[in-house]
Every structure is written in structure tokens, then in C-alpha cells.
Amino acid sequence: MSSQALPRTVSVRKYAAAGHSLSGTIPLARLPRVAAAILQAAGPFAVEIEFAENEFGKRTLRARVDGSVALACQRCLKPVTIAVQADSILTVVAHDAEAKASLRDVDPLIVEGDELEVYALVEDELLMALPIVALHEQEDCTVQIAGFNTAAQEPANRGNEAAADSAAVSAGERENPFAVLRELKPGKQD
């Protein structure tokens, strides 16, 4: 993929009719909504958009976006680097009613007029590709969760817990959690 800058807008009609494609990069500074949602980007985002017309004469495009971003880990609040990849095939529609009608069959992209806002499309694709919750792997995170066992420790502890539970049940030591309620109940007592 080349590192050339992408145009801000393109004519969907012309690009689809000719089967053109765009390939290049977009820096984070040109994507304010993405910049507000992340801590930083590891570099510009690589973008490839292929335009076509399908067998029904509808304009379609395939948008691929790749990059790496730093988000705040929701356990330790330190930066965690996440690879972000989006790959969508969209059908261009003129208005909301047409989008609703075609929603069952295709993923619609509403383009008013003929001009596609390339940066807005890339922003939308990146925002949808971001994880809802960013987390380090447990072993890489600086915050250790109380009671959390790593995969290596878990089977041994699980066996010890099961043995302790079965010993308590067999010895008849298990206490009824509702026994206190029996004492509070007025009238009939055991």
C-alpha cells in the first residue's frame, strides 16, 4: 500500500463506473473523532478503497483500514497498543429510506449527492473497529485482580476447592443460609 495522501472527497459515480481504487494513508491529525477516542496512534492509518458497480447497477465499495492505536487499559489505565483492522463491503444509497429498505441484504452507506467524504468513511470504519473495552493480557497488566488465578494455577486450585467442598458436605458441616430467617419468623418455631 502506498504512503500517498488520500483525497478528502471523491465522486462515487465516476470512481464506481471506472472501477477505480484509492490507496494511501491518513494521519491521525485528519481524523478528529478517532483522535478523541484513543490516546495515540502508532503512525498513519493505511487505507484502501475499491469502487465498483454490482450486477444490479448499484455502486459498491470495499474499504480496508489498518493501523495501531493506544487505548487506556480499563484495569490499570496505562496505554495498551491494539491493532485495528476494518474490512467492509458497502452499497452506496442516496437516503435513509433507501438504506432501511436495503438493510436486510447489504450494508448501506448513505452518500448525499455524488461526493464521498473519504476521511469521514475512514473515521466511521475505525471507530466501529475499536474494542469496547481495551485490556492488557492479565500477565502484562500492572493491576492484579484479587481472586484471579492464572491458567497455570487454576486447575490445581479448582481441585483443592472441590475437595474442601466435598469434605464439608460429607461431614454435614454445611450451614443452611436461611437458618437465620427461621429464628426471625414469628409464631411456629422448630
Per residue in 54-112, pLDDT tens? 888 889 999 999 999 999 999 899 999 999 999 999 988 887 887 777 767 788 888 98
Domain presence at residue 52: yes
Angle of CA points 96, 101, 104, to nearest 5°: 120
Cβ pair 116, 7 in contact under 8 A: no
Domain presence at residue 89: yes
Q: Please, how many CA atoms are within 13 Å of residue 81, restricted to the half-sphere of its CB?
A: 5
Mean pLDDT, rounded, for 117-122: 94
- Residue 152's pLDDT is what? 43
Domain presence at residue 20: yes
Beta bridge partners of 80: 71
Domain presence at residue 164: no
Domain presence at residue 68: yes
The pTM score is 0.70
Q: How far apart are the C-alpha atoms of 145 and 143, rounded to whole Å?
A: 6
As for how many domains the chain has, the answer is 1
Domain presence at residue 188: no
Cβ pair 110, 96 in contact under 8 A: yes
Print the domain residue range for 66: 9-140
Sign of CA dihedral 126, 127, 128, 130: positive
144-156 pLDDT tens trace: 766 655 444 444 4
- Residue 163's pLDDT is what? 55
Domain presence at residue 118: yes
